Amino acid sequence: PRIAVLASGRGSNLQALLDAIAAGGLDAEIVGVFSDKPAAQALQRVPPALRWSRDAKSYADRESFDRELADAVAASAADWIVCAGYLRILGDAFVERFRGRLLNIHPSLLPKYRGLKTHARALEAGDTEHGVSVHFVIPELDAGSVIAQARIPILPGDDPESLARRVLEREHPLLVAVLQLAVSGRLNERGTTVTVDGH
C-alpha cells in the first residue's frame, strides 16, 4: 500500500512512519511528501523525487492551491493520505476528493481543543490529562471521526513545551499503529462511524 504525507514543518511523525517501514513494522511505502512550505524539514526526510512543495502564498486563493496539491497527491496513486503536522486548512473539495482515506494526527483529546495551541489551552483549562488523536478528515476542522487516542497525565510544573514533548512521544507509535490498520484493509469510515475489522 501507498501512503502520501502532508507536512508543513519538522516531520517527526513522517520519520516515525519511515522508521517503522524500515524496521518491518509497517507494510507500506511512502510515495510522496507534500508541503505548503518549501523549507519544511519534513521534505528533507525523503529522496528529492518524492518531494512536492509550493509556496501557498503565491496562489490567488485556497481553491487553486488545493487543486494543484490534490492533483499531485492523486498522481502519487496513494491509497492513504496522512496529514502529519500539516498546518494549512484543506478546502472542502480536497477533503471530499480523498474522503475515507484521509487521516490527521491532532495533539489533543478530541473533541477537546480543535485548532491550534492545544497544549497551552489544556493547561489553561486546568485539565489533568491531555493527549493525541488520529481521526478521519472531514470538511469541518479537526471534527472527523476519531480512530484512536493516547492519553498522558498533565504534571505539576508542565508548560506547553514539556507537554508537547511528552505528547509527541505518544504520537509516533499511535500514528504507526493506525496506519498499519489502514494499510491492512481493516480501517473503515462508514458515515460518522469508524470500524476496525478483526482478523
Question: Under the criterion CB under 6 A, does residue 123 sit at the interface with ligand GRF?
Answer: no
Of 112, 121, 193, 99, the C-alpha closest to 151 is: 112
Closest residue to bound ligand GRF by CB: 85
Question: Under the criterion CB under 6 A, does residue 32 sit at the interface with ligand GRF?
Answer: no
What is d(CA 5, CA 21) in angstroms, rounded to the nearest whole number? 14
147 is in an annotated binding site: no
Q: Take residue 196 and report the three cell numbers written for it.
A: 476496525
Q: Take residue 75 and report the three cell numbers written for it.
A: 498522481
Q: Which range of residues in 21-29, 68-76, 105-113, 120-128 is near ligand GRF by CB under 6 A?
A: 105-113
Question: Under the criterion CB under 6 A, does residue 11 sit at the interface with ligand GRF?
Answer: yes
Name the DSSP letter for residue 154: P
Q: 147, 129 in Cβ contact below 8 A?
A: no
What is d(CA 6, CA 81) in angstroms, rounded to the nearest whole number? 7
Cβ proximity to ligand GRF, 65 vs 86, nearer residue: 86
List the one residue from 32, 85, 91, 131 that touches ligand GRF (CB under 6 A): 85
Cβ proximity to ligand GRF, 107 vs 144, nearer residue: 107
What is d(CA 7, CA 30) in angstroms, rounded to the nearest whole number? 13
Binding site for ligand GRF (CB under 6 A): 7, 9-13, 42, 84-85, 105-107, 168, 171
Catalytic residue list: 106
